[in-house]
Structure 1
Amino acid sequence: MNMHFSTRLALLLISILISGCMTSGRVAPEAPFERAADGRRIGFHEMLTDLRTSRVVFIGELHDNPSHHQLQLEIIKWLHRSGAKITVALEMFRAQNQGYLNMWINGDLGVLEFMNQYRNNWTLPWELYDSIFLYARNSGIPLLALNAPDNIMQKVYRQGFKALTQEEKRFLPPDVSCSVDKPYMNFIRRNFVWHSNDEATFIHFCEAQQLRNKFMAYTLSDYLDRNPDRVVVVVTGVGHAMRRGIPDELASIKPMQVKIVMPFLHELAAESLQKGDADYLTRM
């Protein structure tokens, strides 16, 4: 048995084990989902049936919460098994590293090599996302890298959007600007429980978050234009998944059917959410 086949077989077995664990009741059909429009409690499958009608499904996460990633995987699996041609779009990878995602899905990159690329793009533990990556690979589901170049984002965090040079802006969407409205700033302040008294630092942070929204929306829109038959599931943090994040930026480029699933947040952040920020809320 050659090494390449052994690796693929190991991945398949891991995927089967994960699949068995993930469907053994940890996300039950009676899971506590709330439809934001009317506050009605609904079951998992009723929500999924509605999500199936959308071109883009955003599933927000608190990055370090394993149950949020479990829910993301379950939705991905259900949509895939329903016959939808899905792509999973990831905040966790910068767009310039799309090639590594392609190699992973095509079986041209081993687990250790892909783990290294993941860690070059994202700082949180691999184990939070590995089941999604493995399921996508073993199911042939394309992965899309969404995030902006790190050097540009770090400069905005430190100095603000105005500090970017024209050369640096070449790597951003055409004619991009970076205005942040007060409701979005208020959500960020509460969600991140901002304690610093340095208002300039906070504004720069908000600008960076908004710039990520714009960049990821542009990347997503471009992919959807080139792949009109795909349904895209977007795995990203709550500040980007909420309506005022990527979805509104995407709508400004090209209106389309979008659904948003968000976790309930801590009290301070929840107070700053607006009714239209999500279609479904979950207490997972």
Structure 2
Amino acid sequence: MKHIITTLLLTLYAVAAFSQTPLKAYQIFDKEGKEVTFEEMAESLSNYDVVFFGELHNNPIAHWLQFELTKSLATQKNNAIVLGAEMFEKDNQLVLDEYLNGLIKEAVLIKDGKAWDNYKTDYAPLVDFAKENNIPFIATNVPRRYASLVSKKGLPELETLSKEAKKKYIAPLPIEVPYDNPSYKEMEQMMAGHGMTGKAKQFVEAQAIKDATMGYSIVEALKKKNKGKLFLHYNGDFHSKNHEGTVWYVNHYNKNLKSGVIAFGQQTDLSKLSDENKGENEFTIICNSNMTKTF
């Protein structure tokens, strides 16, 4: 009887302990696959010139951690930071600046600045943080009409644009495209697999004009009055993962800038980094794959 009671008590204790195990939403890993804390990640990234937060656009944990990282880096650098995002195009910089300077309301920014559908929930906190702390926020992306033009007719078509458009809104022509980078090769193969073999290369070039323009915008923003500041850039994970895409172009335009990359992925098991999510990133944040979506 004593043995039975002991066994029952141990079973009940195990059940109670299991039921009290907290849910885990995410885990951060360094380049070697070792678990690190948010504070360790933020402190390490404060030593870089450019930090890329590669997000999943509809993941609430990614957006929350972006905001927390922004606050942390701003504190560590005494607000000597610059923010920038894929979500704003270069021809909307004036509207964005007018909002940051308190000249227009948020509704005008959303409409005239072509803000994404999830702006209010996911990106407004970042923009408002910049506004409240007098931190520059750069619209880095190429106007979507030019990326669309390239996807339909190829990079050479950009030469037909006006001098003003080429000077203000896109990276300097001609654009060098690293077609052999794994991410670009993956995109070309994916498009070819969807029956678009003839247009696959042009889709890669459309991606490249986005990456090149964002990279060039970052490099240009760190000149003159922003020289020496840390640039924190928000973009989709594909644009910066493994130091490809936009990161490749930052290095292309200025080899002296040190870039740190945060990749973002999903797994059902957060105890270790899966082979699929390993890469050449300074840090990888893994979120539980059943996480709710923001839109």
- Could you tell me the TM-score, scaled by structure 1's length? 0.78
Whole-angstrom distance in 2 between the partners of 1:193 and 1:129: 30
Whole-angstrom distance in 1 between the partners of 2:38 and 2:75: 15
Change (3 A) 1:122 1:31: closer
Residue 251 (structure 1) aligns with: 251
Secondary structure of 1:260's counterpart equals strand
Change (3 A) 1:69 1:75: same
Secondary structure of 1:32's counterpart equals strand
Deviations 1:183-219 (A, max 9, x none): 12244368x8985121223322211111111111111
Residue 87 (structure 1) aligns with: 82
The Cα of 1:128 is off from its aligned counterpart by 2.4
Q: Is the CA contact 1:146–1:220 (under 8 Å) kept in the aligned structure 2? A: yes
Q: Is the CA contact 1:89–1:145 (under 8 Å) kept in the aligned structure 2? A: yes
Whole-angstrom distance in 1 between the partners of 2:174 and 2:156: 12
Deviations 1:100-135 (A, max 9, x none): 1211111111121122134x2545554221222222
Change (3 A) 1:139 1:271: same
Secondary structure of 2:223's counterpart equals helix
Deviations 1:124-179 (A, max 9, x none): 55422122222222222211010112221111122222333343583433332243
Secondary structure of 1:158's counterpart equals helix
Change (3 A) 1:39 1:189: farther
* Equivalences, count: 250
- Deviation above 4 Å: which 4+ runs of structure 1? 192-195, 270-274
Change (3 A) 1:42 1:266: closer
Identity of aligned residues (%): 22
Whole-angstrom distance in 1 between the partners of 2:183 and 2:67: 28
Q: Is the CA contact 2:171–2:209 (under 8 Å) kept in the aligned structure 1? A: no
Matched, 1:211 2:209: yes
Q: Is the CA contact 1:87–1:230 (under 8 Å) kept in the aligned structure 2? A: yes
Secondary structure of 1:212's counterpart equals helix
Whole-angstrom distance in 1 between the partners of 2:285 and 2:209: 27
Residue 275 (structure 1) aligns with: 279
Superposed, 1:139-178 pairs within 5 Å as 139-167=133-161, 170-171=166-167, 172-178=170-176
Matched, 1:66 2:60: yes
Q: Provide the alpha-carbon RMSD of the alignment.
A: 2.8
Q: Which stretch shows the higher mean deviation, 194-203 or 139-148?
A: 194-203
Q: Is the CA contact 1:183–1:272 (under 8 Å) kept in the aligned structure 2? A: no
Secondary structure of 1:275's counterpart equals coil
Q: Is the CA contact 1:34–1:42 (under 8 Å) kept in the aligned structure 2? A: yes
The Cα of 1:52 is off from its aligned counterpart by 0.6
Higher alpha-carbon Rg: 2
Structure 1: which 5+ runs fail to align?
A: 1-27
Secondary structure of 1:165's counterpart equals helix
